[in-house]
Structures are given as structure tokens and as C-alpha cells.
Copies of this chain bind each other. A is one copy, B any other.
């Protein structure tokens, strides 16, 4: 398969690119993570979001533990070629490992971070009790 498009992405010095995962319908930003070349290639091939987890240093098929897969309908690239957006449909409606819809559940109000989103599902119920 033609992979020139992968060469047009400017990978950082660790071979990664930042990825914004955005709900294709609501436009809400659900998550931010990094992907390496394999992860982006697999995302395009399978239509399911793949990332590179920096904490665990491995390829990460989002949903492999939680079941909260992200169905990717489009991949967008920015002007500098060094940031991607995955347009997604979030399975289970939960992108965040805290059990919330979005990882961006805190808003600055009067000089304090306020939590503005509910936990939709207990993380222990999502991840079966092992740490994440």
C-alpha cells in the first residue's frame, strides 16, 4: 500500500506525533495522546484508533483493555505536518481512563480547576481492578 502520506508526517525526535481525538459528531475533544508510525498506519488501515503509550512504551490499541474502542472516520493533518486529529466515534461514550466522556473534564473557574463532568462508569469496573 502507498505509504507516502506517512512520510509527509513530521515525526518528533522520538518518532512520535501528537494526536487529538475529537468526537466526529459533537466536536468535543475527547483525548490527547501520541502515535508512532505503526500506530498511525494501523489506524488508517483498521479504522480503529491506535496510539503509542509513552508511559508503557508500547503500541496501544485504544479499547484493548476497556472495550472503549475509537472508530476513526477521518485523519487530519496540520499545516506544519506535525500534529494529527483523529475524528472518532467513541464506543461506550467514555474516552477517559477516569470513566468520563472526555479527558478534558476540568475548567478554570475563578482561579481553580473545577471538575465539570461526571464519572459515567467506575474505572475499576472498566479495567477490572488492575491499575492503569
Interface residues, chain A, with chain B CB atoms under 8 Å away: 1-5, 8, 18, 20, 22, 26-29, 31-32, 44, 74-80, 83, 85, 96-98, 100, 103-108, 111-113
Cβ B32 vs Cβ A106 within 8 A: no
Closest 10 CB pairs of A and B: A27-B27, A78-B103, A77-B106, A75-B108, A76-B104, A2-B111, A32-B83, A79-B103, A78-B104, A76-B107
Complex CA gap A108/B104 in Å reads: 26
Cβ A108 vs Cβ B27 within 8 A: no
| Cβ-defined partner of A85 (8 Å) among B1, B29, B98 | B29
Residues of B within 8 A of A3 (CB): 111
